[in-house]
Every structure is written in structure tokens, then in C-alpha cells.
Amino acid sequence: MKVLQFICSTGFYGAERWVLALSKHLPSQVSSELVVTLEPGTEELELVKQFREIGPTHAIPMQGRFDLTAVSKLAALIKQRNIDIIHTHGYKSDILGIMAAKKAGIPCVVTPHGFENADDLKLRAFIWLGCQAMRFADKVVPLSKQLVKDVEKFKIPAHKLAYIQNGVDLSEVEAVRLTKSPKTTNTKTIGFVGQMISRKNITAILNCFDALYKKRQDIALVLLGDGEEREKLEAFAQSLHSAEAITFLGFRTDRLQLLRDFDLFVMTSTLEGIPRCLMEACAMEIPVSAYDIAGVDQLITHNESGLLAQLHDEAQLQTDWEKLLDDEAFAASLASKAKTYVENNFSAKRMADEYFTLFEDIVKENANG
């Protein structure tokens, strides 16, 4: 079976790592290939570099940010490579991929990784269009139960919906976790990993850190990731009392090594699927403080495997940070339980086996007309 993974990538974030994890763990009966759109600034994608160890990679040139001529190019590639099924990730990829699949006569599976609660009207219109396109896919397979509910709002027929719980390549995380050394400094590192976009609500992290830093200076904040809001967030951080203790590291290939050395992983998103970065933090056995939102609550149980504050309750967030930083035995207990839970429920191998069964069924149905 030949499966073509299609994503209009702009960096190396959760969706890109997810595509790698799935493709790496699919059974040997599957030949995985990758196609990305080639747009300004995406010429040297980390995803493409890493996927070459799994299978062939392809690029579709785009004339502008949305180019419908890509549909014919993608359909031609599908026929040339004898692809059996295309698997799409993201609004643009869904629109182009579904149209190309229809043109080439193969089935299309769409995996929504999360929805953006954007203010920009153009982006909201584009998101709406992508969601409408999902109705024409053969299967829509959201990553979380909340995303299933979100998808149902777009009137996807029930027989086209399937749920496969998210998974992450934990072997990579475990290999790094085992290299952890004892701390050599009294400074405690509070860290975040992820895209710097509006729904990640990183301003709340900065506000909470600044309030805490005014009480104690034995803490540092490290933010890993890039995105459209990074410049604005860096400017805001410079205006804070705690500016000298805040570091923006951007995209890093050594993110797991940096995550390993966090004393606390924090997340203040307002909207999520099941965040990969949070899964990795749990697997790395790092204590977690986050807002209690759908998706996050599938990974963290309050007071059992992490601490969850009500959305936008920055005062409670600060209290939770202090508790986890100062009560090391309590924090270690929560982190250990989070690690066990993620290992038992969110492995990439389990996820890939379920996708393989889904792909097999769809290809058989397509062959039988």
C-alpha cells in the first residue's frame, strides 16, 4: 500500500512531528511518501529532511499562498507514483488534497490537528472553507474527542467520521530523558514549547512569570518555538520587570534536550487538539501546569498528573507554578503519573496500527467501487 502524506508546511511543529511519527511506525506493508507545497520560506523544511529517512519526498511549486494549479500537479504526482491513498493535514492541504484525490480517483483521509480561533477575517474565511472541504473526504479522523465534536459542527456525515487517539514517538523522548544530569544551579527553569500563535495565549505565560519574578528571582523562563506572534511577544517581554530572565530560543533541533532540563512545563492555550508538546513534556517526566481546556484534559488530570487552572485565571496559575516549583516531591509524583499515563495511552505504534487498519478498509472499499 502506498500512502502519500500531504501538508502545506511552514515550519516544524506538532503536525509535522506527528506526520513523522505516524509514517515511521506504520507497518512494513505500507510505503509512505511525503509531498509538501513549495512556497517562499519553505525551501529547506526540517520535515522534508527527516522524512527522507522514511521514504520519498516531493514538492509542489505554488504561485502565491493559494494556487489552484497545484491540484493538477498533485493529481499527476499521485498517478505517477501509483499512490493508493492521500492523507492530508491542515486547511490548505485538505482543500487541495481532496480536489486532487477526486481528480486522480483515489480516497482521501483528512486529519484535523486543531482549529484556530483567529480574529483575522480572511483567515477565518479560509478555515471555514477548509472545514467545508472535509465533507468531501472519504474519512475525517480528528486527533481528540473534542475535535470530533468540533468537526461534527460542520455537518460531516457520521459514516465519514472516525476517531483514532493521538500518539507520539516516545522512544525519542525516552532516549533523551535518560541522559538527564543532576542540577548544578539553584535557578529553576520554567519552559514552554510550541508555535507562537494567538491560540497558544503566550502573553498569559509572560504575565504570570513577571508577577512571580517580582516575588523571587531564582527562576528563568525559556520559550521554544516560532510563529507569527513571536516578534510582538518579544517586544512585550522587553517591557516587563522580568525581561532579563526571559529567553526566546526560536525553533531548535535540540528541543528535547532543552525540555529535559525544564523544572516546570507551562501551557496557557485557549484552544488545542491533544498537544504533542504536552505529551512530550509528560513523557519526559516534567511537572505540568496548564489551563483546563478540552484536549489538555485528555492528558492531565488535576492534582493527579499535573495542575490545571480555570481558563484565564492567572492568579491560580501563579499559585500552581509556585506549588510545583517549591514542593519537589509533590511535583515529581505528578510527573511520574503523567509519564505512565502517556506511555500507556498515547504511543505512536498503537496509533499507526489503527491508521493502517483504517487505510486498508478504505482502499478495499475504493477498489470494490
Residue 98 predicted with pLDDT over 70: yes
Q: In angstroms, how far apart are the furthest CA atoms of the chain?
A: 68
Residue 267 predicted with pLDDT over 80: yes
pLDDT at 304: 98
Of 150, 145, 361, which is closest to residue 274 (Cα–Cα)? 145
Sign of CA dihedral 108, 143, 176, 227: positive
Cell representation of residue 41: 520560506
Q: What is the mean pLDDT of residues 100-107?
A: 97
Spell out the SS3 assignment of 189-213.
EEEEECCCCHHHCHHHHHHHHHHHH
**C-alpha–C-alpha distance, residues 66 and 275, integer Å:** 27
Ordered domains of the chain (ranges, CATH): 2-167+347-364 (3.40.50.2000), 170-345 (3.40.50.2000)
8 Å CB contact between 76 and 54: no
Give the residue with greater pLDDT, 193 vs 145.
193
pLDDT at 138: 96
Residue 276 predicted with pLDDT over 90: no
Q: Residue length, the chain?
A: 369
**C-alpha–C-alpha distance, residues 250 and 247, integer Å:** 9
Angle at 63 between CA 34 and CA 78, to 5 degrees: 30
The amino acid at residue 135 is R
The pLDDT confidence band at residue 119, using thresholds 50, 70 and 90, is: low
Give the residue with greater pLDDT, 194 vs 43.
194
Residue 88 predicted with pLDDT over 90: yes
The pLDDT confidence band at residue 357, using thresholds 50, 70 and 90, is: very high
**160 DSSP 8-state letter:** G
pLDDT at 116: 65
**C-alpha–C-alpha distance, residues 324 and 195, integer Å:** 24
**C-alpha–C-alpha distance, residues 160 and 158, integer Å:** 5
8 Å CB contact between 144 and 299: no
Helix, coil or strand: residue 268: coil
The pLDDT confidence band at residue 129, using thresholds 50, 70 and 90, is: confident
Cell representation of residue 232: 510582538
Share of the chain above pLDDT 90, in %: 73
**C-alpha–C-alpha distance, residues 45 and 6, integer Å:** 14
**C-alpha–C-alpha distance, residues 328 and 158, integer Å:** 47
The pLDDT confidence band at residue 356, using thresholds 50, 70 and 90, is: very high
pLDDT at 117: 61
Q: What mean pLDDT value characterizes the chain? A: 92
**C-alpha–C-alpha distance, residues 356 and 305, integer Å:** 31
pLDDT at 123: 67
Q: What is the mean pLDDT of residues 197-220?
A: 97
**C-alpha–C-alpha distance, residues 335 and 332, integer Å:** 5
